[in-house]
């Protein structure tokens, strides 16, 4: 299979002017257009540090517990998890809808297998991967059914998947990243656990579902820039679900 990063910049026809969801003074962008704008600054964002310090250890433990195999990093972005998975002995193919985010990953990992693709329509044959990792992507997708159908299709029987995302009870309305003195807001969709479970196809089975609040974080961030965590410490911030392809 030929694996290439396609760097074309044509936006989907369904997007409005400049990929905006609305035309307000402070517009919210679709994920495709928004990540094109934030790619160069994404890893300087304070929330990127939060995920590095709190989500990475969870993925690291899980990946290290698995027999080496082929991973799909679905919605890989700039490639935070490529070295984590490779150090655990796995081969990795990264897929993301943003050529700009993949370009950052390609610069850092010139030999990496990268594919510009929508995770709702993956360009891989059935039962291609042993494992799937999908971190903080579902909240950019309105309807989850196509995602889980694709994950089930491309994962081998008895393969495992790890899904993590911002918890729907976390206090946020969109994703907002500072770029050159402005804030680029990217549309998000909140999915309660019941909605996630309803979207699963029969061949995907939940092995575990864990919620993380302020009191059980691996790293507690400073209050500055993270006020919405400390204002309501009892609210879950993110969740991690482990699934099996049966």
Angle between helices 99-108 and 31-38 (to 10 degrees): 40
3-class secondary-structure state, position 3? coil
Q: Does 126 score more than 50 pLDDT? A: yes
Is the alpha carbon torsion for 245, 138, 109, 126 positive or negative?
positive
Is the alpha carbon torsion for 222, 225, 226, 230 positive or negative?
positive
> What tens digit of pLDDT does each residue of 80-120 get?
999 999 999 999 999 999 999 999 999 999 999 999 999 99
How far is it, in rounded angstroms, from Cα 39 to Cα 160?
A: 29
Provide the b/e sequence for 84-116 (b: ≥16 CB within 10 Å): bbeebebebbbbbbbbbbbbbbbeebeebbbbb
pTM for the model stands at: 0.92
According to the model, what pLDDT value does residue 225 have? 94
Mean pLDDT of 152-163: 98
According to the model, what pLDDT value does residue 161 have? 99
Sheet bearing 204-212, strands edge to edge: 113-116, 91-96, 70-74, 129-135, 155-166, 238-245, 204-212
> What tens digit of pLDDT does each residue of 44-78 get?
999 999 999 999 999 999 999 999 999 999 999 99
Closest listed residue to residue 226, CA positions, set 29, 78, 48, 39: 48
Q: In the chain, what percentage of residues exceed pLDDT 90?
A: 87
Least confident of 15-19, 58-62, 100-104, 123-127: 15-19
According to the model, what pLDDT value does residue 25 have? 54
In this prediction, residue 165 has a pLDDT band, given cuts at 50, 70 and 90, of very high
């Amino acid at each position: 299979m030929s694996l290439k990063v396609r760097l074309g910049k044509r936006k989907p026809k369904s997007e409005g002017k400049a990929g905006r969801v609305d035309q307000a003074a402070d517009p919210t962008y679709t994920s495709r257009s928004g990540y094109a704008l934030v790619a160069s600054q994404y890893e300087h964002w304070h929330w990127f540090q939060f995920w590095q310090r709190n989500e990475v250890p969870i993925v690291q433990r899980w990946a290290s517990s698995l027999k080496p195999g082929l991973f799909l990093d679905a919605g890989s972005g700039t490639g935070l998890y490529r070295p984590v998975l490779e150090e655990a002995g796995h081969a990795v193919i990264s897929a993301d809808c943003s050529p700009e985010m993949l370009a950052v990953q390609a610069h850092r990992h010139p030999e990496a297998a990268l594919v510009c693709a929508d995770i709702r329509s993956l360009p891989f044959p059935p039962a291609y991967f042993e494992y799937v990792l999908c971190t903080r992507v579902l909240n950019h997708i309105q309807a989850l059914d196509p995602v889980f159908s694709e994950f089930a299709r491309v994962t081998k029987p008895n393969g495992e998947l790890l899904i993590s995302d911002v918890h729907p009870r976390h206090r946020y309305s969109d994703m907002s990243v500072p770029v050159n003195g402005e804030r680029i807001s990217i549309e998000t969709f909140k999915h309660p656990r019941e909605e996630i479970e309803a979207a699963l196809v029969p061949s995907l089975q939940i092995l575990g579902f864990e919620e993380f609040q302020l009191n059980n974080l691996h790293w507690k961030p400073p209050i500055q820039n993270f006020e919405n965590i400390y204002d309501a410490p009892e609210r879950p911030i993110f969740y991690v679900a482990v699934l099996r392809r049966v």
